Structures are given as structure tokens and as C-alpha cells.
Chains A and B, each alone.
Chain A
Amino acid sequence: MNLFKNIFTKSTPKEHTIFIVEDNEVYANLLEAFLMLHFPEIHAIKKFTSGEACLNESFQIPTVIIMDHLLNKNQSGAATGLSIIKKMKIANPDLNIILLSAQTEIEVVSKTIAKYGGIYIPKNEEAFHNIEQQVKQFFGI
């Protein structure tokens, strides 16, 4: 009986890959667990602590890249999320990118990211809800 049930139950294909670029390990782990919990469609989540490391692997074309703007916790002169996004979008304009930032004066960044076809989400209490809604759109759910 269970065999037939398993055969005829429609399972969700795990086809999506997400890249998280975040140098705050607590935030990255929380985001990873949150996404895995809410999206059974996710095949894999890869985490990077620098934009440069993500850029090197962006040829894999993930469904979504979620990137923090300030990635200088470990390295003062590290490239910002925005500068990495510009490079990625030039190489592949179809990449779905979400830029996160805890900065309050972010108007310029949010306008610039919009120009490059990315989505800006402020790192506040609504951030995870907003990320969930945006990822749903990218997954076509």
C-alpha cells in the first residue's frame, strides 16, 4: 500500500541552488536554516564569507544569490556586495540577486542595485519575511 502511495505521491523536485554571501556566521546559518525550512525545493545552499569567493563560483548559476552589502568584518578593504553584484550582472544579466544591508543610510545603494536589476532588502525584523516572498517569486511559486 505504501509503495503505491509513494509512487503516486507527487514529490517536489529539489532543483534550486542558493548562494549566501555573508561574513556574519550567525546570520548566514540562520538564513540557511530558515530557507531550508521554508523551501523543500532547495537542492543546495552554498555559503561564502567574501564576495570574491562567490564571484569565482558564480559560473554555477544559482537560482538566487543573497548577499550582504558590507563584507569587511574579516578584511577592511574587502569588496562591497554592490561592487560584486555589478561584476556578476555584467557577466550574467539574468542572475537573481538580493542585496541585504544593516546600514541606515542606504538610499544610494538601493537605487544603484535597482539599476542593476537586483533587489534590496534592509536587514531589519521584516528581512526574513521579505526574503521569503522574494525567493518565492524567483522560484515561481
Chain B
Amino acid sequence: MIKTKPNNNISTVCNFNYLSELMGGKIHLIKKIMDTFLVQVKEELESLNSAITEKDYTATKNLAHTMKSSVSIMGISTLQPILKEMESLGMETTCSDSYRDEKLSELNLNLNEICKKAFVEIENYSFS
């Protein structure tokens, strides 16, 4: 069993309180979810990078939608507005493609940066 502390450290991007609470603080269950998250979200991020490069808006929308649920489990709240906007831009039909591509690339840069930090935090998480 583990007890997590409130996320007072502003330099961290994850907050594991929600996950820990749902899993009753059981380390083996938390670890299993973290391992699945690392494999799945790394793949999704790669697919999203490709979708944006290839201007595949449907794939962008679908991947951003899925990632929204996954990152909420790890308490990565800073990613919620980014993914929400990416999902909306994937569905957007009124703005120009150049505006949409520029905005998506900008959001994707932030997404990659935050995800990179999150992966390190999860991989180095100490259960002691």
C-alpha cells in the first residue's frame, strides 16, 4: 500500500493521487497501469506526430480524444486543454488549413514536451 502526497511541486506534471485512490493504494495494480500507460501513450504520441505531419485530421482528432482519457488517469492536468484543442481542431472545418496546421504543430510541441516529462516521472516513480 502507498500513500501519495498532494502535488505541491509545480515542476512535476503528474499527480498519482487519483490512480492510487482508485487502486486502493495497491502497488502491483498501480504499477501495472503505469506500465500499460507508458507503452500505449508512447505509441499514441508517435501516431499523433505522424498524423499531424501527414495532415490526417480524423486520426488527429481520434488520437487526441483517446489520449485525453489516458492522461487524466495519471493526473496530467496540463495536457487536458491541449488535447481538447487538438481534438477540436481535428474536427474544425471553418478555419483555413494553414491556420489549423500551424496551431496543431504548436500544440503538438507542447504535448511532446509535457509527455516526455511525464514518462520520466512515471518511469522513476518510487513506491517506497
Give the interface of A toward B (CB within 8 A): 23-27, 29-30, 33-34, 37, 70, 72-73, 76, 102-103, 123, 125, 128
Give the interface of B toward A (CB within 8 A): 18-19, 22-24, 26, 29, 32-33, 36-37, 40-41, 58-59, 62-63, 65-66, 68-70, 72-73
Point out the residues of chain A lying under 8 angstroms from B36, CB to CB.
25-26, 29
24 chain-A/chain-B pairs, Cβ below 8 angstroms? A23-B66, A24-B40, A24-B70, A25-B36, A25-B40, A26-B36, A26-B41, A26-B69, A26-B73, A27-B70, A29-B33, A29-B36, A30-B73, A33-B22, A33-B23, A33-B32, A33-B33, A37-B23, A37-B29, A70-B62, A70-B65, A102-B68, A123-B69, A125-B72
- CB proximity of B40 to chain A, nearest CB, Å: 5
Point out the residues of chain B lying under 8 angstroms from A23, CB to CB.
66
Enumerate the 3 nearest inter-chain pairs by beta-carbon distance, A residue then B residue, closest first: A26-B70, A73-B66, A33-B29
Question: Could you tell me the distance between the alpha carbons of A123 and B59 in the complex, rounded to whole angstroms?
Answer: 21
- With CB as the reference atom, state the residue of chain A lying closest to B84: A104
- CB proximity of B86 to chain A, nearest CB, Å: 14
Question: Could you tell me the distance between the alpha carbons of A33 and B21 in the complex, rounded to whole angstroms?
Answer: 12
Question: Could you tell me the distance between the alpha carbons of A76 and B72 in the complex, rounded to whole angstroms?
Answer: 23
Question: Could you tell me the distance between the alpha carbons of A136 and B37 in the complex, rounded to whole angstroms?
Answer: 28
Q: Say yes or no: B22 contacts A30, CB within 8 Å.
A: yes
Point out the residues of chain B lying under 8 angstroms from A29, CB to CB.
32-33, 36
Point out the residues of chain B lying under 8 angstroms from A27, CB to CB.
69-70, 73
- CB proximity of B48 to chain A, nearest CB, Å: 11
- Which residue from A73, A103, A128 sits with its C-beta under 8 Å from B63? A73
- With CB as the reference atom, state the residue of chain B lying closest to A68: B69
- With CB as the reference atom, state the residue of chain B lying closest to A75: B62
- With CB as the reference atom, state the residue of chain B lying closest to A78: B62
Central interface residue in B22, B26, B41, B59, by most chain A CB within 10 Å:
B22
Point out the residues of chain A lying under 8 angstroms from B24, CB to CB.
37
- CB proximity of A37 to chain B, nearest CB, Å: 5
- CB proximity of B61 to chain A, nearest CB, Å: 9
User: Would A73 and B33 be within 8 Å (CB), given that A27-B70, A102-B68, A123-B69 are in contact?
Assistant: no
